[in-house]
Amino acid sequence: MRLVLLGPPGAGKGTQARMLESKLDAPQVASGDLLRTAVKNRTALGVEAQRYMDKGALVPDELVLKLIEERLNQPDARVGFILDGFPRNVPQAETLARVLDGYGKKLDKVVALMVPDAEIVKRISGRRTCRNCGAMYHLIYDPPRNPGVCNECRGELYQREDDAEETVRMRLKVYAESTRPLLEHYGRLGLLAEIDGIGATGEIERRILRVLGRDGAAAKGGS
Ligand code: AMP
């Protein structure tokens, strides 16, 4: 399965991608995670990317494409993937199509999680991320068992620089200008399914599996 999850920041793409990995037997490929790893490792690319990320702006295409192409060339992602956060604009989508075409493959589906801006601001400003394993929590909707500590690995939870309210508003503006046109792009290609991104995570997962024609996988997984 070659799937793209679209939607504004905080729509739940990361949560859903992680939940779907085992059911679709395809790895999550999150451009934001790849970039944050580069930033953490202080690679030249990471240092350059951080200037844009901290402001909530898009990182230049050539930097992101380098990371994504490397990742999509790894054996597990050659078989399938769940793209989360990529593509972010029409040129990135066109490059993705060319890369896939290069090894005779195509996207199977693009699922857009639709969530209104006011809900996004509420969700992201309460979001906390594990510095160690990347797991995500919400101070109100999904608090960790012990404040500030990851349930999975006991890593430290922090608020991403770009999750502060003002930066979230900037990211929503960037989404509206650069990423939303992808809905029309993929709609025209007949690949798009828009689903309501409000509700319990298990319910949203079921909606996604339904549009993928994988309702059986939802029953098997039991969530
Ligand atoms: P995310 O974790 O997907 O919300 O991404 C965090 C930040 O990384 C974004 O606000 C951008 O600065 C950068 N980023 C992630 N994916 C991309 C992409 N496909 N193109 C450009 N910038 C990206």
What gap in Å lies between CA 165 and CA 148, rounded to an integer? 20
How confident is the model over 26-68, as pLDDT tens digits? 999 999 999 999 999 999 999 999 999 998 899 999 999 999 9
Going from N- to C-terminal start, the domains of the chain cover: 2-26+79-115+165-221
At residue 85, the pLDDT reads 97
- Measured in Å, residue 182 CA sits from the centre of ligand 1 at 15
pLDDT of 218 reads: 59
Helix crossing, 61-72 with 31-40: angle to 10°? 100
Annotated catalytic, 207? no
What whole-number percentage of the chain has pLDDT above 70? 97
Q: What is the pLDDT of residue 223?
A: 40
Q: Is 145 a catalytic residue?
A: no
What is the whole-number distance in angstroms between the Cα of residue 131 and the centre of ligand 1?
17
- Residue 37's nearest CA partner among 72, 68, 11, 7 is 68
pLDDT of residue 174: 95
For residue 222, the model assigns a pLDDT of 42
Please indicate whether residue 150, judged by its CB atom, sits closer than 6 Å to ligand 1. Answer: no
Q: Judging by DSSP bridges, how do beta strands 157-158 and 136-138 pair with one another?
A: unpaired
Q: Quick check: helix, strand or coil at residue 69? A: helix
160 has catalytic annotation:
yes
**152 CA from centroid of ligand 1 (Å):** 25
Beta bridge partners of 136: 129
Whether 188 sits among the annotated catalytic residues: the reply is no
pTM of the model: 0.88
Mean pLDDT (the chain, rounded):
93
**Which structure tokens are listed for 194?**
């828009």
The verdict on the CB of residue 111 being under 6 Å from ligand 1 is no
Q: How many Å is the Cα radius of gyration of the chain? A: 17
pLDDT confidence band for 173 (50 / 70 / 90): very high
Q: Is 13 a catalytic residue?
A: yes
Q: Which residues contact 214 (CB under 8 A, 6 or more apart)?
A: 23, 24
3-state helix, strand, coil in the chain (%, to 5): 50, 15, 30
> 2-26+79-115+165-221 sits in which CATH class?
alpha beta
- Give residue-wise pLDDT tens across range 59-105: 999 999 999 999 999 999 999 999 999 999 999 999 999 999 998 99
13 falls in which pLDDT band (50, 70, 90)? very high
Rounded to the nearest angstrom, the distance between the alpha carbon of 31 and the centre of ligand 1 is 6
185 neighbors 168 (Cβ within 8 angstroms): no
